[in-house]
Structure 1
Amino acid sequence: MSKAQKLLAIKFVHTLIWAFLVTVILYVVYSGLTDTVDLYTWIGIGLIVGEGLILVLFGMSCPLTVMARNYSDSEKDNFDIFLPNWLAKYNKLIFTSIFVFGLILVLYRWLS
């Protein structure tokens, strides 16, 4: 495989994982809003917390971003994922905020 093909493969996988994790975050919010907290809500929270720990271990970068650096010299924030540059740049801020909101809702529903 060429460098371009490897980068393309990483971008594809990275985008799929990103879409899955965003879906999980939205499910956590949905669970809190609709008071339907269930086992899947807690599994989702665990997955997102686990992803957060992975990001911390890799210096706040996704391991796929670290891998993709080997195949690109691009300075763009979306060089390693199929997202608009602005979303790739603010991805962690946007989705961490949404997750925290959902987590607060879920904890409120669970405790009340």
Structure 2
Amino acid sequence: MTERPLRARRDAHALAAVRLLHTAIWAFFASSILAIPVTIWAGQLVAALWLSVFVWGEVVVLVLNRMRCPLTTLAARYTDDRADNFDICLPRWLARHNQRLFGTLFALTQLQLGWTLLAR
């Protein structure tokens, strides 16, 4: 086997691993954002605060990387593809609008959490 097909296979495996990891991390943060209002509604404000802290940590990582996930940079090493979802297992439209959609939802959850905490 020549070097080129072997390298292409290794790159494809590495890209698949990065995509799976990126998708798992995305799922954690997306579900955390969706869980915040549920935990607030259930009166679990400590849980809502912890979920918020985790998501704020991700926000800091994104800001420090010019609003680009470090896993996107890693995935780019293994392919020339630059479709909106080349680095994650999401539909293209969701990958394209991910930050706007979940950023807006997170901002709303933080307003809800702040309002709830102030009303106590």
TM-score by length of 1: 0.93
Q: 1:79 aligns with which of 70, 82, 86?
A: 86
Does the 8 A contact of 2:39 with 2:47 survive in 1? no
Pair member with larger Rg: 2
Q: 1:26 aligns with which of 34, 39, 51?
A: 34
Return structure 1 stretches of 4+ with deviation > 3 angstroms.
none
Aligned identity (percent) is 34
TM-score by length of 2: 0.87
Q: CA separation of 1:104/1:35 partners in 2, compared to 1, >3 Å: closer, same or farther?
A: farther
How far does the alpha carbon of each residue in 1:17-54 deviate from its partner, in whole angstroms, 9 at most, with x for none?
1001011101112233x152422211111111110110
Question: Matched residues in 2 for 1:9 and 1:57: separation?
Answer: 24
Number of residue equivalences: 111
Structure 2 residue runs without a partner (length 5+): 1-8
Question: Matched residues in 2 for 1:38 and 1:11: separation?
Answer: 33
Question: Matched residues in 2 for 1:36 and 1:73: separation?
Answer: 47
| Higher RCO, 1 vs 2 (CA within 8 Å, ≥6 residues apart) | 1
Does the 8 A contact of 2:19 with 2:89 survive in 1? yes
How far does the alpha carbon of each residue in 1:77-112 deviate from its partner, in whole angstroms, 9 at most, with x for none?
100000000100010000010111111111111110
Question: Matched residues in 1 for 2:37 and 2:26: separation?
Answer: 17
38-47 vs 59-68, which deviates more? 38-47
Which residue does the alignment assign to 1:109? 116
Structure 1 residue runs without a partner (length 5+): none
